[in-house]
Amino acid sequence: MPRYGIAVDTTKCIGCHACRVACQNQNELDFNQTFNSIAEVERGKFPSYAKEFAPLQCNHCEDAPCQRVCPTGAIYTTPEGVVYVHRNRCVGCKYCIEACPYKVRIVDHHKGIVIKCWLCIDLIREGKEPACVTTCPNQVRIFGDLDDPNSRISRFIAEHRAQPLRPDLNTRPKIFYKRS
């Protein structure tokens, strides 16, 4: 079974929010809810000043803190490595929101459950790529199998030494970032 992940090249991101809108469209979310957001980081001192756009989404951690704290066992990892919330099991206690160090989980007040990026698993299973990946005008995101050393994502991670965010938290995320 493949182990899917995404590599993000923040040096290419222009902060257009197309991925956010595509995600909202794909997952039929409210205008103020999204599974991915774009953080803006500014650093440096004039004249060497830089602004970075960093798209954030569920990191599909292999040792997911949300999965560990979920009392109902609603959070599980699919064979493809996608951390998934079982919508008929979640009670909406929001413990996972507190436990997630990346703070990418939201409450769906219509269904009363916690929702988050599920890597568009329905599209993946049809052999397609997640909506945020295909919609990006600058191809910031690269989707693929992390276990296949010849996949585009594995070569990208190796070439640019892409790292997950906060690897020191030991959650072993599957979203890798190439940052300036």
Phi, psi of 130 (to 5 degrees): -60, 155
Cα Rg for the chain, rounded, in angstroms? 16
Binding flag, residue 64, other proteins (CB under 8 A): no
Q: Would you say 20 and 31 are in contact if contact means Cβ atoms under 8 Å apart?
A: no
* 3, 92, 134, 155: which one binds other proteins (CB under 8 A): 92
**Rounded Cα distance, 56 and 104, in Å:** 7
For other proteins, the closer CB: 15 or 148:
15
Binding flag, residue 95, other proteins (CB under 8 A): yes
Q: Would you say 75 and 89 are in contact if contact means Cβ atoms under 8 Å apart?
A: no
Q: Would you say 11 and 162 are in contact if contact means Cβ atoms under 8 Å apart?
A: no
Binding flag, residue 91, other proteins (CB under 8 A): yes
Binding flag, residue 29, other proteins (CB under 8 A): no
Nearest-CA neighbor of 177 among 156, 150, 146? 156
Least distance between other proteins and beta carbon 79 (Å): 20
**Rounded Cα distance, 6 and 26, in Å:** 18
Residue 74 is encoded by which pair of tokens? 């609603």
Binding flag, residue 51, other proteins (CB under 8 A): no
Binding flag, residue 167, other proteins (CB under 8 A): no
* 107, 121, 134, 156: which one binds other proteins (CB under 8 A): 107
Binding flag, residue 63, other proteins (CB under 8 A): no
* 5, 65, 81, 130: which one binds other proteins (CB under 8 A): 65
**Rounded Cα distance, 129 and 123, in Å:** 6
For other proteins, the closer CB: 89 or 125:
89
| DSSP-assigned letter for residue 81 | S
Interface pattern 118-157 for other proteins (x via CB under 8 A)? ----------------------------------------
Chain contacts with other proteins (rule: CB under 8 A): 39, 41, 52, 54, 56, 65, 68-74, 88-95, 97-103, 107, 109, 111-113, 165-166, 169
